[in-house]
Amino acid sequence: MPSELNQKVETALASLIDPNTGKGLYASGFIHSVTDTAAGPELKVRFGYPLAESPLANWRALIETALAADASLAGTIVSLDWKVAVHSVQGELKPLDSIRNIVVIASGKGGVGKSTTAVNLAVALQQQGAKVGLLDADIYGPSLPRMLGLGGKPEVSEEKQFIPKMAGGIPVMSMGFLVDEETPMIWRGPMVTSALQQLLNDTNWTGGNGALDYLIIDMPPGTGDIQLTLSQKIPVAGAVIVTTPQDIALLDARKGLEMFRQVNVPVMGVIENMSLHICSNCGHEEAIFGSGGGEKMAQATGLPLLGQLPLDLSIRELSDAGKSVVRTDPGGAVAQAYTRAALRAVAELSQQGRNRSAGLPEFVVQS
């Protein structure tokens, strides 16, 4: 039975809802401990996803204000941090020692901005303090090297592992580093799937700096060999479906969603890309690819709508220049849209089952 102090704290915090989980701190599982000490009550809150110093400070202010409304809780010592747990994966697979969670960014069809979304989500999570890596799983048409301004072949360590290229501190691996940009990959399925496994398993993702919190995998479109290999041999914690509002994209996105459900990979939610275009000259807003499609898909499937990303010229220009809009203009409206989507995605992941057998060390950021 909860202690009287714990019940008081729960009551005091009942009105505080985490916008990323849509639930209270207790329901989200973020109340780490409530103790009564000689110095007074102590409350420790541990979020299950990364948060930078500024949002942690905002949370501290909200929590202290809520507690102060109860005179017996005034002066409670509040500490906040975050820790990314190792979450359950599909079937009998086990998480990799060097990667806490593999998250795939997928779509049913090409041209919906999946790779751009993967890059900016990864940068957004890194800016919140997470250790993040990027794997380009599109063997036939790798695009991450160009989008991140990277080139050249990766070095190989004495342990016969690829040393990934670094993009602003994010380790990146892609078939695009191993072949010429204009060389077509005329490979059959077994060669493609073997290449994907080698890129994942033979890359030194950590550089001796501890496990990644998230490895973001940019998937090729469709439901073919790569997706089948991923579902059978790669331990995936969750997937994010990217779509545009138009009907044909939504139809293909539903196929991708059903594929992940059939292979027991949890889908964290839907991101609607290119949802609205705002004219840079006159400010006129126009839904070029339709409107409300991602929201309708989320409602029909019971999944969260993680974000609606704009159709913005700066995204294309920066991607072509090998830059991320989130890193280039972190305070801008476009970057903030990506950051909100990234946090909602990993917050959804934090609510899923954990892999209790993982013996990875804690990684804590103290506010």
User: Are 53 and 160 contained in the same domain?
Assistant: no
User: Are 321 and 198 contained in the same domain?
Assistant: yes
Which residue, of 50, 82, 114, is where some domain finishes? 82
- Say whether pLDDT at 81 is over 80: yes
User: Are 78 and 151 contained in the same domain?
Assistant: no
Alpha helices in 140-213 (DSSP H): 144-147, 189-201
User: Are 155 and 68 contained in the same domain?
Assistant: no
Inter-residue contact 314 to 325 (CB < 8 Å): yes
User: Are 209 and 345 contained in the same domain?
Assistant: yes
Residue 150 is assigned to a structural domain of this protein: yes
User: Are 109 and 187 contained in the same domain?
Assistant: yes
Which residue, of 22, 52, 82, is where some domain finishes? 82
What are the C-alpha distances in Å from 26 to residues 35, 42, 101, 114, 338? 15, 15, 23, 34, 27
User: Are 162 and 211 contained in the same domain?
Assistant: yes
Residue 362 is assigned to a structural domain of this protein: no
Cα-Cα end-to-end distance for the chain:
30
Nearest one of 308, 235, 241, 243 to 269, comparing CA atoms: 241
What is the spatial distance between Cα 294 and Cα 308, in angstroms, rounded to a whole number?
Answer: 8
Alpha helices in the chain (DSSP H): 4-12, 53-68, 114-127, 144-147, 189-201, 225-233, 247-262, 293-301, 313-320, 325-328, 333-350
Q: What is the CATH number of the domain that holds 181?
A: 3.40.50.300
User: Are 108 and 73 contained in the same domain?
Assistant: no
What is the spatial distance between Cα 149 and Cα 127, in angstroms, rounded to a whole number?
Answer: 19
Residue 125 is assigned to a structural domain of this protein: yes
Inter-residue contact 23 to 52 (CB < 8 Å): no
Provide the domain count of the chain: 2
What is residue 73's three-state secondary structure?
helix
What is residue 109's three-state secondary structure?
coil
pLDDT single digits (tens) 36-70: 988 889 999 999 999 999 999 999 999 999 999 99
Which residue, of 34, 50, 82, is where some domain finishes? 82
Residue 92 is assigned to a structural domain of this protein: no
Residue 255 is assigned to a structural domain of this protein: yes
Quick one: what percent of the chain has pLDDT higher than 90?
60
pLDDT single digits (tens) 104-155: 999 877 778 899 999 999 999 999 999 999 999 988 888 999 999 999 999 9
Mean pLDDT over 74-92 rounds to 94
User: Are 182 and 43 contained in the same domain?
Assistant: no
Q: Where in the sequence is the domain holding 116, given as residue range(s)?
A: 99-355
In this predicted model, which residue has the larger pLDDT, 293 or 361? 293
Label residue 1 by pLDDT band (50, 70, 90): very low
